Each structure stands twice: as structure tokens, then as C-alpha cells.
Amino acid sequence: MRRSVCLWAKALASACVMSLVATAGWSQQQPSITWLGMLPGYDRGLAWGVSADGSVVVGGAANAARQARAFRWTAAGGMQNLGTLGGDQSVAFGVSADGSVVVGRAYNAAGRPRAFLWTQATGMQDLGTLGGRESEALDVSADGSVVVGGAYNAAEQLRAFRWTQATGMQDLGTLGGTVSEALGVSADGSIVVGSAHNTAWQWRAFRWTAAGGMHNLGTLGGDWSAAWDVSADGNVVVGSARNAAGQLRAFRWMQATGMQDLGALGGVGSEALGVSADGSVVVGWAQNAAGQARAFRWTAAGGMEDLNITYASLLTSESVLQVATATSPDGRYIAGQGFNAAAGRVEGFLLDTVPEPASLLALGAGLAGLLGLRRRKQ
């Protein structure tokens, strides 16, 4: 009789959970990999940014002559060629949270690369320079109003910039040298990260605020570092730095801990390129034991994992996820570059990890506890 009651209770709990799963629409969702395809006439691609809901991916496609074109991809429309500023090349590096604003680098008619901001309504807008001839935009705030990157000043020195429609390009300075470049920006546009020369002309990762200016984040014991991305609130910075042995390693930085070496996948090198809004999920590339570059995801609980192993069931034979360049704010969607064996080429990918909702897990545990269910030996 006791066993019958327990089985009835277990069935009731399972039914409750499954009913809620179906009601919320989660039952049909499974992890998936989407290869983004290619622009006509092009044979190689890389995805650099992804919107908050995973519906828009941006990047660049290259042809046999290695001329690149910026693209904006959607599931419904495929790849859209964003054109250039009159020259023959362009690439998109960042996208706003809703996918409507794209930033990157495009060549003008004079053959000079210039930072651009693109919307469907306006097309490409040249954001200018700091008085020099060249510039590039590398990231954009969540609402698309703040753009960061690098631009040459009148002395032809590369400088990190922060741009808004109201202020134009603002030179963010350096760490004592003459060169700097902004690589990432917080969700609200108030905190900028990147790399800048110190007084010894060594590149150092920096974190910039309007109140404090540039702050040197140091290294992992070596002579080089760069910050590639920052959490929504600006408190977690990720990038790459050389250690005392001269090895390039992915890092995660917080004020309280400084730089944390995230390791590799059995090899030597690694680089962190993207981070989730809360700073808990980091993505990038790392070498495996064979010295091959593999896309990774890092969390405090799981450490660094090879996405090719975690999601092996989604990959056809000989397909490889080589680099993870960006993740959505919630860490669910990951964009990057890989080898698509079915097409026989390197192209951008979008990985939907579909994490199991925490609320659902908590509900299941609560029901099990309430009904006194325990795993028992048969």
C-alpha cells in the first residue's frame, strides 16, 4: 500500500511539472546550431555579435580576394549585405539589444576604413574620426545610442573613442602612452573597456568611466593584455592577457579579485571575447591538447567547457565550432565561427543552448520535497 501511494505521488508531481512545461511552451525547445550560410559570391564568414533574443546576428563575409562585406542575419531573411561607404570592404562588429542598430568598419571611396552605424532606415552612417584618416566601431550600447572603437587623431595616433549623436567622438585618452582602442561597452554606455599603451609602450587592458578615466587592469604576469567585453553593469571585464610564461590566456576581472586566469582546454592559449549581462557566462576560444582552437563557454560552476563536446550531438561529422565571439545577455545564445562540413567552408554559427529554466527546476524540487519523494533501492 505504501509503495502504491509513493508511486501515485511521484506520478502526480511529474504530471504537474510536465503540465507547466507544456503551458510555458518549453517542451518543444531543444539546443540547436544554425549555420548562417553565406552572401552570394562569398566563401568565408565570421559572426561577431548577437541580439538579446538571438534573432539577429552580425559579422562579416569574405570572398576569394579576401574582400569583406558586413552582414546582418535573421532567421526569416537570411544574410543581408550591408554594403560599404563607397569602398570595397566592410565588417560588422556589434549590434544593439533589439538588433536594429549595427556598428562596424567600412571603407570609403578614398579607400580609408571608417567607423559606421547602420539602421534599416538610414543605411550606413560614417561616424568620422578624431581628426585623422581612419576609424572603426567595435561595440554599441544596448539601446544603440553609444558607440565605441578606435580612431586616429590629427597626429595619426590611434585612440579609443566613445561616440553619441549629441557629442560626436570623444577621445578617451591612454594609460600614459599615445595609443589606445575601445573594444567593449556596458549596456548603458557608461563604462568602456579596451587596450591602451602605458608609459613603456606596452598594451594594457583598461576600464574607463567618465568620473575616473582609464584604469589599468594589469596582466597575468606577462607584458600584454586587452579587455574585449564587459558585463551590463560594468563590474565584470573579460579579455586576454599574457602570463609569466608568455602564454596568451583568457581572463575574467572584477574589482575584488583582479584578473582570474580561466585556463585552456588542455592546450596553452585562450582568449575571452564575450560575457553575459551578469558576468556569469564567458565565451571565447581556447586550444585543446592537440593545439587546435575550439569555442568555449566558462562558468564558475562548470569551468571551461569545449562547446564541441557539450553539443557534440548537434554537429555533423567533421564540423567544428572554432571561436565563440559573443553571447546574448542571458547567456543562452552564442555566436561565432566554425567549419561547416556540410557546406565545406568556414562560416558563422548561432548556438541556442536553451538552458533549463531555474524556476522550473525549483518547482520540481519543491514538489518532490512536499510529497516526500526519495530515490530508493528497488
Q: Report DSSP letters for 148-195, one per residue.
A: EEEEEETT--EEEEEEETTTEEEE---BEEEEEEEEEE-TTS-EEEEE
Q: Are residues 177 and 309 in the same domain?
A: yes
Q: Are residues 59 and 16 in the same domain?
A: no
The CATH code of the domain that includes 223 is 2.120.10.30
Which pLDDT score, from 0 to 100, does residue 96 have? 98
Q: Which domain holds residue 301?
A: 31-356
Q: Are residues 269 and 364 in the same domain?
A: no
Q: What is the pTM (predicted TM-score) of this model? A: 0.88
Q: Are residues 377 and 332 in the same domain?
A: no
Which pLDDT score, from 0 to 100, does residue 140 have? 98
What is the strand order of the sheet 345-352 is part of? 32-35, 345-352, 333-340, 320-327
Which pLDDT score, from 0 to 100, does residue 348 have? 98
Q: How many domains does the chain have?
A: 2
Give the separation between CA 200 and CA 230, rounded to whole angstroms: 26
Q: Are residues 233 and 86 in the same domain?
A: yes
Q: Are residues 61 and 7 in the same domain?
A: no
Q: Are residues 205 and 283 in the same domain?
A: yes
**Below-70 pLDDT ranges, the chain:** 1-28, 356-378
Q: Are residues 120 and 182 in the same domain?
A: yes
Give the separation between CA 186 and CA 38, rounded to whole angstroms: 30
Give the separation between CA 172 and CA 212, rounded to whole angstroms: 11
Which pLDDT score, from 0 to 100, does residue 193 have? 98
Give the separation between CA 205 and CA 198, rounded to whole angstroms: 10
Cell 559572426 identifies what position?
Answer: 47
Which pLDDT score, from 0 to 100, does residue 357 have? 54
Which pLDDT score, from 0 to 100, does residue 368 have? 38
Q: Are residues 126 and 185 in the same domain?
A: yes
Q: Are residues 117 and 3 in the same domain?
A: no
CA triplet 38, 39, 45: central angle to 5 degrees?
Answer: 50
3-state DSSP assignment of residue 9: helix
Evaluate whether 39 touches 57 at the Cβ level (below 8 Å). Answer: no
Which pLDDT score, from 0 to 100, does residue 190 have? 98
Q: Are residues 175 and 161 in the same domain?
A: yes
Q: Are residues 286 and 372 in the same domain?
A: no
Q: What is the pLDDT of residues 95-110, one digit of tens each?
A: 999 999 999 999 999 9
Which pLDDT score, from 0 to 100, does residue 29 have? 84
